Structure 1
Amino acid sequence: MKIALLESLGISEESLERLAASLKKDGHDFSSFPRSDDRDENISRLSGVDVAMIANMPLPGEVIAGADSLKMISVAFTGYDHVDMKVCTERGVAVSNCAGYSTDSVAELALGLSVAVCRNILPCDRAVRDGSTKAGLLGNEIAGKTVGIVGTGAIGCKVAKIFRVLGCSVLAYSRTERDELKELGVSYVTLEELMVSSDIVSIHVPCNDETVGLIGEEKLAMMKPSAILINTARGPIVDNDRLAEALTSGRLSGAGIDVFDMEPPIPKDYPLLKAPNCVLTPHVAFATPEALEKRAIMAFDNVFAWISGSPRNLVY
């Protein structure tokens, strides 16, 4: 088999060599490349390749269709909306992902963004550096608040458990209800009830045709003026233009956003950049050394499993 890694997995060269060594030992050809967004370059790199490995670089249909030998794509990421699944389906290309590698890291950032917004951490930092005081910067406690979790997959479950430990009431909206959360006192409700009742809303659903624009003007208008929105999932799930308007007009108290309509860098005129009480991070929720090492191992294990005829973590 010929395997090509089309971008860095964010691990050391030593770790990459160790993982690739097992493939080479079994007689497979392994190559790695720096990321390129050039279509023709990627088609060339995939010439004769059986297995492509990527993280979050887009893999459009024309590249997949141009890869004459491609049979499998190992996505070192939880989401796979950056891969043209329609073309993969048409051509019979198997696709696996690495769901679960970043559960802790994403959940921790969701909490961190919530604390940063509720306690005015960034304005407080600036105040100290500017020789000012806490005047006008008193924040709100999270304990005792109602937190709404939109999507209770592995990450949503982890976030719900964290907020329960902090003494919050937790509401959840999800396609699948989890008994483990119900046993902790989490109540499953409609999305509308969650938006109306929550002090903090945290988004944890995948990006697909059903969830793009899920949190738009209508849902944002349902939220309490004192509420905050946290999104560490995917940018297009939230209408960030409408979110910026809600923050600017005071219809919403604050937001913590790690994902946008595009990958950072963000254009200078992006509305959220000027919205008040909005803490922004550059799609970093998944990016810890621990998580990146874990996902690299999973991505290679998915390749081994597929080659051995016992594929796992397949999304197609």
Structure 2
Amino acid sequence: MKIVVADTYAALPGDLDWSGLDELGECSFYPRTKKGELPERAKDAELLLINKTFVTEEDIKQMPKLKYIGVMSTGTNTVDIEAAKQRGIVVTHIPQYSTDSVAQMAISHMLNIAMPVARFDKNVKEGIWRKDYENVIKELHQIELYGRTLAIVGLGAIGSKVAEIANALGMKIIAHTSKKQEELPAYITKVETLEELFQKADILSLHCPLNTKTQNIASKERIALMKPTAILINVSRGGLVDEEALAEALNSNKLYAAGLDVLENEPPTENDPLCKARNCFITPHMGWYTKEAIKRYTEILKQNVKAFIQGKPINMV
């Protein structure tokens, strides 16, 4: 059985333990696979493992032996699921391996904006505290999160964990979710419309998959509903946000700040509007990357492949 791994770089070479995978089949590893290269590299593959490499309907047509696509992430927007389904190709993903780590990243962005510790540290070490303390106080704005309203879009594993942590900080939690109010913890109040959620948010945190329904869910119109003091957090997928609208809102003081671990184009170009936007803090899609999460990731990845080969697939999309 031939196994092709299309983009080992996405799993950070040297950190992911591939041992044991070669016992399950003949493996070919590629650090990166550019657009158009996949059909040739995987033309004889029965199993394909991908992370950030896109698998289109046309790609699937050119891989006649393909029986399985293992998405090496939780999100599956990189695969044309419908085309795979029509061909009878099993698609799996790696759920909940990074729940705690990604939730921690969301909270870290909130805390960084509310209490800019790194900037305080820089001021101290550059002597500004000693030389010009009054300006330090004037220029650095701090926010107490206690009592603020955290609005969450999506209450899956990560969104629920963020709500749990925020509740411990004394925040009020509202959410837009398909779950019924009686299914939610007592500290979460369901809000029926996205428009109401955006309007009420002191901090808005996005925790939903990227698909045709959620593309630009933080649209120009909804961002315009937010308070000028509000903060937008996105650690899910860049495509959830209208990035030009977000940059414009930040630069025109219509929104206070944003904390992002994801962008629509990764890595960003030199001219990416968010990289130059006021009060926009960006990390390089690293919320998932802790030693603990990587260990779980590795175990689930191999379990997925092994279960499929044994005819009992798990974690199917």
- Fold agreement, TM-score > 0.5: yes
Q: Do structure 1's residue 286 and structure 2's residue 282 form an aligned pair? A: no
2:313 corresponds to: 311
Residue in structure 1 matched with residue 7 of structure 2 by the alignment: 7
Secondary structure of 2:174's aligned partner:
strand
* CA distance in structure 2 between the partners assigned to 1:11 and 1:177 by the alignment: 42
Amino acid at match of 1:282: P
TM-score normalised by structure 1 residue count: 0.91
Q: Which residue of 2 aligns with 1:146?
A: 149
Q: CA deviation at 1:20?
A: 1.6
Q: Take 1:178 and 1:72, find their aligned partners in 2: how far apart are those partners? A: 38
Matched AA of 2:78: H
- Matches of 2:17 and 2:82, distance apart in 1: 33
Task: Give the superposition deviation at 1:176.
Answer: 2.7
Matched, 1:50 2:46: yes
The one-letter amino acid of 2:4's match is: A
Which portions of structure 1, spanning 4 or more consecutive aligned residues, are displaced by more than 6 angstroms?
none
User: Post-superposition shift, 1:177?
Assistant: 4.0
8 A Cα contact 1:76 1:298, kept in partner = no
Partner of 2:120: 124
What is the CA distance between 1:64 and its match in structure 2? 2.2
Could you tell me how far 1:257 is from its partner in structure 2?
Answer: 0.9
Alpha-carbon distance in 2 for matches of 1:224, 1:34: 44
Give the TM-score of the pair, scaled to structure 2: 0.90
The change in CA–CA distance for 1:50 and 1:281 in structure 2 (over 3 A counts) is: same
Match of 1:112 in 2: 108
Distance change in 2, residues 1:276/1:129 (3 Å):
farther
CA RMSD of aligned residues (A): 1.9
Distance 2:80 2:16 in 1: 31
Shift of 1:178: 7.2
- Name the CA shift for 1:67/1:150 in 2 (closer, same or farther; >3 Å): same
Alpha-carbon distance in 1 for matches of 2:3, 2:78: 20
Alignment check: 8 A CA contact 2:16 2:298 kept: no
In the alignment, the residues of structure 2 paired with residue 262 and residue 205 of structure 1 have an alpha-carbon distance, to the nearest angstrom, of 18
- In the alignment, the residues of structure 2 paired with residue 176 and residue 99 of structure 1 have an alpha-carbon distance, to the nearest angstrom, of 19
Of 215-224 and 117-126, deviating more is 117-126
Letter of the aligned partner of 2:89 in structure 1? Answer: V
What 5-or-longer segments of structure 2 have no aligned partner? 130-135
Match of 2:34 in 1: 37
Contact 1:152/1:177 (<8 A) preserved: no
Q: How many residues align?
A: 307
> Aligned equivalents of 2:217 and 2:99: distance in 1?
22
Conservation of the 8 A alpha-carbon contact between 1:51 and 1:72 = yes
- Deviation by residue 1:68-105 (Cα, 9 ceiling, x = unmatched): 20011011101111112232133221111111111011
Change (3 A) 1:14 1:254: closer
**In the TM superposition, what are the counterparts of 1:8-27 in structure 2 within 5 Å?**
8=8, 9-10=11-12, 12=14, 15-17=17-19, 19-20=20-21, 22-23=23-24
186, 189, 195: which is aligned to 2:198? 195
1:76 equivalent to 2:72? Answer yes
Aligned CA distance change for structure 1 residues 247 and 91 (closer, same or farther; 3 Å): same
Alpha-carbon separation, structure 2, partners of 1:77 and 1:176: 24
Report the Cα distance in structure 1 between the residues aligned to 2:276 and 2:174, rounded to whole angstroms.
30
Is 1:46–1:52's contact at 8 Å kept on the other side of the alignment? Answer: yes
Matching of residue 61 in structure 1 with residue 57 in structure 2:
yes
Matching residue's letter, 2:196 = E
Q: What are the equivalent positions in structure 2 for 1:154-303 lying under 5 Å apart?
A: 154-177=157-180, 182-190=184-192, 191-264=194-267, 266-303=268-305
In structure 2, relative to structure 1, the CA distance for the partners of 1:257 and 1:217 (3 Å cut) is: same
